[in-house]
Amino acid sequence: MAEGRAPLYLARASYRRRRLIDALRLLPFLMFGLWLLPLLWGGEGTDRPVGAGSRAFLHVFVVWALGLLATMWLSRALRRAEGPVEALKTPGAAEKHGHTDEDAH
């Protein structure tokens, strides 16, 4: 008989950070699919070649710009979800990075 285990509890911040990382990993595939969308326009049954026209060119650059904005938004959200960097709070970390107390004055 299987033992009843308590459900695995994930902290809300950790869960959100993992979902943001998943979204950042999937974003290139979504953008690639949207980028190929103009290939469905035109083609057989029309006198226009597949993906031709100014609408397709505009679409490619709009998708590119939206991809940049989505990446920027997700990376900022991920940075906020991670919180402050602990490495800079440890003693001696500032000296490793070339910062000294004299630089602050």
Give the range of the structural domain holding residue 36, as residue numbers without chain letter. Answer: 12-83
Asked if 77 contacts 13 with a C-beta cutoff of 8 angstroms, the reply is no
Rounded mean pLDDT, 8-27: 84
| Tens-place pLDDT, residues 18-27 | 888 999 999 9
**What radius of gyration do the chain's Cα atoms show?**
24
In a domain, 105, yes or no: no
DSSP secondary structure code for residue 53 in this structure: S
Cα separation, 38 vs 54, in Å, equals: 11
Position 28 scores a pLDDT of 93
Identify the pLDDT of residue 49.
Answer: 66
98/68: higher pLDDT: 68
**Comparing 62 with 102, which gets the higher pLDDT?**
62
Cα–Cα nearest to 81, from 11, 27, 25, 26: 11
**Among 58, 17, 9, 68, CA closest to 37:** 58
- What pLDDT does residue 81 have? 79
- 74 in a structural domain: yes
Q: Is residue 104 part of a domain?
A: no
**Number of domains into which the chain is organized:** 1
Over residues 41-95, the pLDDT tens digits come to: 766 666 766 666 778 888 889 999 999 999 999 999 888 877 655 544 555 555 5
Q: Does a structural domain hold residue 71?
A: yes
Question: Within a domain: residue 95?
Answer: no
**Number of CB atoms found within 10 A of residue 20's CB:** 19
- Model's pTM, two decimal places? 0.59
